[in-house]
Structure 1
């Protein structure tokens, strides 16, 4: 059951809903260009100013957004272009730490170093028989700092609210403005340390069935 009223912050020290502001980075937003979102420095500056203008600390959004962000990267151009975003991004400075929203265990982790990929990635598994949790399945944390993967062991327990990672800079996070890619996954389908975070429009139904919208589980409203 989704507990929509319970707010589960992902960014350490940013514990109020009012500090989180929705942002639309899709192709349909006339104020967002492909050139802007594909330039880490320009994108980071835009998002920092966007938050400041709204008295917020974190900009978030992106579930099922159709984005231009991936159109210039060969990683997303094999066959039909993958442009539909399957997780929610939380945009803030790279010195921020990430909290586990639900208790669980370390499933896997990897540094996905191809340009445009997740960079350092951590995946947790959540089961009600281990601990009370509103979500059963897996949560993925992408675009982390390399140091985030140093001390974890597969199977290690993680408590809700525990610091689990730190956001990475562009040089280590796959080449993006600093942000967390947070994604929920019902079945990992034998993947470890990785899972597609963007799909082609023709695959939308299949991936949506396995990757539910994270926002209701976090207690945040959709943009």
Structure 2
């Protein structure tokens, strides 16, 4: 799939972005997680128990000597079987294709703004398996407007902001939330780029139906265009 105009502009400006999490290439190790059917170690018993799932993430990172885990863009995942939130569609086709990149690490891990932007909206999407605390920033780059979504945050992060607040590049504005605040997931950040938000506020699908893959991937470019972290994942 060729780059959309937005993706091309983001790629052109990669040198200006601030890191989104405190990752240092050459110092910190990144583990590439696979949540497709190919990962037979991730059993339903683990997926369906938040504590067991968290222990799996933590043990894998420890065994890999990794500071963070990462991955998931355009990945067809089985882990969404754990929640009916991803099964309720008009056609009956479940949502399984992931549209962001997940960065797995300890609760409380800081999240920084990759570029200046305005707080567009925020919400507490508290259904089991949903984002939990969520912030959406609006940006402009070479005249193109777009959004970045940060899911699975700490509740305190959405208690101290207001719509219209300006967030400066590199500002620490959020943190990985604990399971009880992030939709009952092991602590991580869901980071997603969105071109058209479709009038939504504080929420946008981070997982789509496989039949709608092309539509959503066009609207949600690869988040690694900003993160620039996948090259370090092993």
CA distance in 1, matches of 2:138, 2:86: 27
SS across alignment from 1:120: strand
Please tell me whether residue 15 in structure 1 is matched to residue 24 in structure 2: yes
**Where does residue 117 of structure 1 map in the other structure?**
130
SS across alignment from 2:108: coil
- Which one of 191, 195, 205 corresponds to residue 200 of structure 2? 191
The Cα shift of 1:6 comes to: 7.0
Consecutive unaligned residues in structure 2, runs of 5 or more: 1-8
- Which one of 35, 53, 57 corresponds to residue 63 of structure 2? 53
User: Alignment length, in residue pairs?
Assistant: 218
CA distance in 2, matches of 1:37, 1:10: 27
- Aligned 1:23-62 pairs, distance under 5 A: 23-62=33-72
**Where does residue 89 of structure 1 map in the other structure?**
102
CA RMSD between the two structures = 2.1
After TM superposition, the score normalised by the length of structure 1 is 0.89
CA distance in 1, matches of 2:183, 2:26: 28
Greater fraction helix: 2
CA distance in 1, matches of 2:221, 2:69: 20
Cα pair distance change 1:93/1:86, threshold 3 Å: same
Consecutive unaligned residues in structure 1, runs of 5 or more: none
- Aligned 1:69-108 pairs, distance under 5 A: 69-78=79-88, 79-108=92-121
CA distance in 1, matches of 2:15, 2:115: 15
